[in-house]
Structure formats: structure tokens, C-alpha cells
A and B are shown apart, each in its own frame.
Chain A
Amino acid sequence: MSILIDADTTFIVQGITGREAVNLTRECLDYGVGAKVVGGVTPGRLGREVHGVPVFDTVAQAVAHNGAPIYGSVVTVPPAFTKDAVFEAIENGIELIVIVTERIPRRDVAEMVELATLRDARIIGPNCLGIIVPDVIKMGGIGGPAKNAAQAYTPGSIGVISRSGGMTTEMSSTLSAAGLGQSTAVSIGGDAIIGSTYAELMPLFEADEQTEGIVIYTEPGGRMEAELARWVTENRSRLPIVAFMAGRFMDEMPGMSFGHAGTIVEGKEDTASEKIARLAQAGITVAERIEDIPEMIRAKIVERAPA
């Protein structure tokens, strides 16, 4: 099995007529068994088609056309319009929203996440590439064109969670090359506030029988790793975890911003070294090099397996 999405998942693309969104739609339709992209939304473009997907002015029209509730939405509208688009999705019964858009002020993100929580919906991102279930379906730009995604991702038992979209693919490719496939890989985004953190995705992987181990990519900044360490300890997780921490050099330059908006080191608790210590305390192995991850996770899975 997988988490979040499977072969039957229906979704729409909000902002579908944008250049990147057109490509993303093509990629999702082509990958695996072919995603059920049941519609797209761009205000004022009702009646058009993008790769055969009908375009609507509103999410409500897309739902009506589908004749049944739609499960997900990939949101690719500009930052100033993202909050409204996500509110529209939630209020029309969408349960899973992948926000691709970058540079959204965190107040907007916090508002979207709080409304989603009230309505039992889930947000992945913003500033993320989405979700992929190898050889089955992808929702978002993750892995790129179907051909490229197929090269990096293979089905298997490792859950991947990453704050960097590109590194989701790099790590999965390394796992695949070592014969370790992925159950589901999730690019969660690199911003200071995001819809779903490591700790918030863990219960889903925990409940997924196919998943035997977790690999995460992490960076300095924020308290998300501390939250994961606490979750793992408190819930006596069955899943072994290996983490890779990039940006160790940033410990020497507090207050400087590199890469993701969430990576800025603001206090001593969110440095790379402090996070590594916290993860280690919770029994999470922190890899120095990506190429070491496959053997580490394999060894940990064997260790946990009942004799």
C-alpha cells in the first residue's frame, strides 16, 4: 500500500493553464497507471482543455462535472492568490491539497492550515514538489517527466520525507540503486510553516503495512526535528529512521539565509548540531553521506525484525 494517495485518487490542478502547471499535468497523466486528473481551474478559462483535462472557472464546477467528491488538488497559483485558492478547495470538500507555490507569507500558510484542520483536510507544502507512489501515481512535479521519475523511483518498503524537493529524488534514486524501493515519497516543503511535518506524516507510515523504514532529509532551522524525535519516543514507533542533515556549515553563520525560507538559524536550538543530537537521542541515525543511507536503513530494519 501507500500513504495519502493511490491508483484511485482523483485530483484537480488549480492554476492549470500556467506554463509549469501544464507540464505538471502532462507528467502526472503519463506516470504509472496514469493519474485521474479530473479537472483544472483557472478563472475565466471555462471550457478549455489542458492535455484533455477540462478547465473550469471554479472548484465547485469541477466537482459538479465530476459527479462525485474530488479527493485532491495541486495548487500552482501565484503567491498572492494561493490562500484564496486553497480556501476554495477546502470549502468544496477537497481533502488533500498539495501547494507547489513558493514565497507565500507564513501568515497565509498558517490560515490555510488552520482552516484545513477545522475541515479535516490535509495540506502538503507549500514550496514542495508533491507526492509519489512509485510506478503507480504521482501528484505534483516530483521526479519530473514520467520517464525521469521512473528512473529514480522504484516500488518498495521505504517511506521518504524531505524538506527539499530535489533531494527527495536524489535520495530515492540512491535507495533504488541499492535495491531499496519506496512505499511513498513526500516532498513536504522547506518553509518555516508547512501543512504536514515529519511527525504529522509518521502515523500514516506507521499504519502502512508496506512501509518498513523511513528516510528523511532535513536542514537547520525550525523545530520540526525535535517534534519528530518526541513523536518517535512517545509513540514507540515500529519504524527505524535514518536522517540526512544538510547545511551543517550554517551553524557558523547564524542569521544568514540560504536556500529555503525555513533554514535560517535563529537560535541555538535549531542549529544542525543541536538537531543531530536530538534525533540521535530518539534512536534516529543521522547519516554523514547520502551513499551510506541504504546500508544504514537496511541494517536497522534487520535489527528490528522479530527473530
Chain B
Amino acid sequence: MRFFEYEAREIIKRAGIPVTDYGFTTDAAEAREIAQRIGGPTVIKSQVLTGGRMKAGGVKFADTPEEAEAHARDILALEINGHAPRGVLVDPRAEVEQEYYAGVVWDGTRKQPVMIFSPVGGIDIEQVAEEQPDKVGRRHFSNILPLSDFQAKEVVASTGVTGAALNRLVPIVKRLASLFVENDMILAEINPLGRLADGSFVALDAHMDIENEARGRHSRLLAELGVGEEETRQAREATPFELAGEQVDAMDHRGVAGNVTEFDGNLGLVIGAGGGSLTLFDAVRAHGGKPANYCEIGGNPSVAKACGLAKLVLQKPGVERIAVMMSIVSNTRVDIVARGVIKACLELGYDPAEKIAIFRIPGAWEEEGFKILERYGVDYADRSVSLNEAARRAVEKIEGAPV
């Protein structure tokens, strides 16, 4: 889950890395008060979780508190890439002599975190890496040995930085690496990291992303930052349909029947598990089908849960039929899913033979499952029919589909 800049700066501050004397607010009048307190030229920055903020007019410079208030009012009303701002950050305009970059990410191949440092900051680090590769230092560090100053020193020195700047940067880079590990981050980045006229450094912007799976062990930090437990901050906000999918999955603790993503097609999908869903979604599209949703079933969910998910998909406006398809299952029972989807059709007053375009789930308890499907006249297939072929047959049954 990504943090807003004002939250990321707070995390940095707590880690002992110098930040400017900024203020966060959701109110234009308060922005003026903050600017007054700062007492000089300020920068007003939109707090949104999307790129291209500067280009979109979400960052403005003010010389007076009045100007700060006016800018704050404009920015608070400005949507960027479909995201309404959470608030504005009022930041003193620092006299920066040079901008640097410091970041920490995971290297999945080496399976270790890596510190990245560059004396060329303020722009995308990927761009620097492409254009001036000798100006980007990388240093992996151990997951189990204690982090040490020399590792930060090596990454900074490798880019040609020496003198007083080197010695002042080492604790900053090391603290950034520590906070990355301690807070289960998947990205921790200060860009730009500014060097002021007196030689000191200050973080001027920061990006932080915490791993969702680890949120539970940072509930105190999240609470202190005011992050709600329900906030997921995905690339786009969850739709009511997707939220309803989460409710279905939360019905009981048996298996998974959820992870729903909404699309605008007419073929409802009741599919699973992870890899099978990806394969089937591709296959439906390859045959010219228009999926109404993505979802996942797995881990042997209850009949009620499978039924709940099928009902949700069946009731989605525009859905003509549903396709119930999975790769060969070993712990999810075929008969339970069959019961669930048939029950969903019946409870909504539909004929399962009509509404279920195809049922292709081979595996555990398939004889029992196929018997039930046969009784209701549902078109089903066993493992001799590939996922791709099942998807083709489902698409064919949708009206107006290409032949």
C-alpha cells in the first residue's frame, strides 16, 4: 500500500532523517496559516497517489501566505488522473545547491534489499540509470546480518561523492535502509534529497510503499498516521461490485471465493485459482469474448460462498451468461462448486442450463459434480477439453459474439 507524501515524510522524520518544516492540511485557510508560520516563499503540493503532479498543475509556488491560500484552494479542487487530492502539503521553498537521490527496493533475483544512490536527483532514477549509469550506485545488503554504516558509505562513494557530503549522507542512507526493513516496505525513496547552502541535507519528497501482507504488524504506525484499515489504495478505487465480492469472501473462512475485479463485458466469469484465472481470462479475450469480471475460487470454499459469488456475477448489469471454469482442482471439490452455481441460478429464478454457458472443472469429486450438472442439463466438460476450448465454447454462446 502506497503512502501519501505527507505520510512518507512523517515516516522519514521518525527515522531521524532531516525534513523541512512542512505542514499538511485539507483546508485552504489553514494553508495560509502554515505559510505564515513558515514565513517565506513556499511550495504548495497536491497530495495524490499518482504521477505527473507537477505537469497537471498540482504543484505551485507562493511568495506570500495569501498566494499560498489561493494556490491551495485551486489544488484542493484539482483532480489529477481521476484522483481527488487528499490534501495539500505546504513546504518551505528550500535554497537547494544540489539534488540527490536515495532509495531502497527489493531485488527478487538476488532475494535481498538493495540501496540505490545517485548524486543526480529530482528526476526519475530510471532515466538517470539509462543516461548516466556511472552516476547510479547499487549495494545489496544482507537480510540477517546487521546493517552497517560502511554499506551506505560504499554505495554513496561508488558514485564519486566524497568530502563532507559523503560523511553527511552515510547516516541518511543507512537510516533509510533501516526504515525500509523495519517497516516491511517494498519501496522507500527520497527524491530529491537536497543539499543546502550550509552543506546539510534535507528530504524534499518521498515515496513509500508498505507490503500489504505485512500491514498487520505495523498497525500502530498506520493508526498514528491515520491510515484506515479499510484503505487499500489500489491503482484505482474498488467499485461497489468489487466490494460486494469482498463481502462474499468474508462470509466464512473456508476457501476463497472473491478477489473480484470489474470489467464491462457481458460474459460473467466464475473462475479460479490464481494461474487458472489468468489463463482463462486471456483465453476468453483471445476468442473475442468480453469478460464482465475477474475473480478467484480456490481452497475448497463452502457451497454458500460459491453460490454468493455466482449470484453476484449473475446479477451484474449486462451479464448474459456465466462461464464456470477452473484448471484441474485437487483440494476444491467439483461437486461443491457445481451445487453453488446451480443454487445461485435457481435462487435468482434462472434456468441453470440456460445461464451457465459452460462448466469446466475437472478433478476431485468430479463424478458427483457432473451428475448434478447433468440433472439440471448444464453443459459441462472434463479434462479432455482444454481451458482454451472451454473458453471458446462459452464465448460462442454469448449473443452477438463473433463466430
The residues of A with any CB-CB pair to B shorter than 8 Å are 20, 23, 79-80, 103-107, 109-111, 113-115, 118, 129, 141-145, 148-149, 152, 162-167, 169-170, 173-174, 177, 190, 192-193, 197, 217, 219, 222-224, 227, 244, 246-250, 253-263, 267, 288-291
Cβ 8 A contact of B261, one of A106, A166, A222, A256: A256
Question: Which of B4-12, B95-103, B188-196, B326-334 sits within the interface?
Answer: B326-334
**Residues in A neighbouring B281, C-beta threshold 8 A:** 247, 249
The residue on B at minimum CB distance from A170 is B327
The residues of B with any CB-CB pair to A shorter than 8 Å are 106, 108-109, 111-113, 126, 142-144, 181, 184, 186, 211, 213-214, 216-217, 234-236, 259, 261, 272-279, 281-283, 285-286, 294, 296, 298, 326-331, 363-364, 383-384, 386-389
CA distance A254 to B235 in the complex (A): 8
CA distance A106 to B184 in the complex (A): 8
B277 touches A259 (CB 8 A): yes
B142 touches A114 (CB 8 A): yes
- From known contacts A256-B235, A258-B261, A259-B296, infer whether A141 and B143 are also in contact, taking CB-CB under 8 Å: no
B112 touches A166 (CB 8 A): no
Q: Which 4 A-B pairs have the closest CB atoms?
A: A144-B330, A164-B275, A255-B235, A259-B274
Cβ 8 A contact of A162, one of B186, B275, B329, B387: B275
A192 touches B108 (CB 8 A): yes
B327 touches A219 (CB 8 A): no
Distance in Å: Cβ of B259 to nearest Cβ of chain A: 8
B274 touches A224 (CB 8 A): no
**Residues in B neighbouring A260, C-beta threshold 8 A:** 274-275
B364 touches A166 (CB 8 A): no
**Residues in A neighbouring B327, C-beta threshold 8 A:** 164, 166-167, 169-170
A190 touches B275 (CB 8 A): yes
CA distance A47 to B137 in the complex (A): 55
B285 touches A249 (CB 8 A): yes
**Residues in A neighbouring B273, C-beta threshold 8 A:** 164-166, 259
Distance in Å: Cβ of A89 to nearest Cβ of chain B: 16
The residue on B at minimum CB distance from A218 is B275
Cβ 8 A contact of B275, one of A145, A149, A166: A166
CA distance A165 to B387 in the complex (A): 16
CA distance A251 to B214 in the complex (A): 26
CA distance A163 to B275 in the complex (A): 8
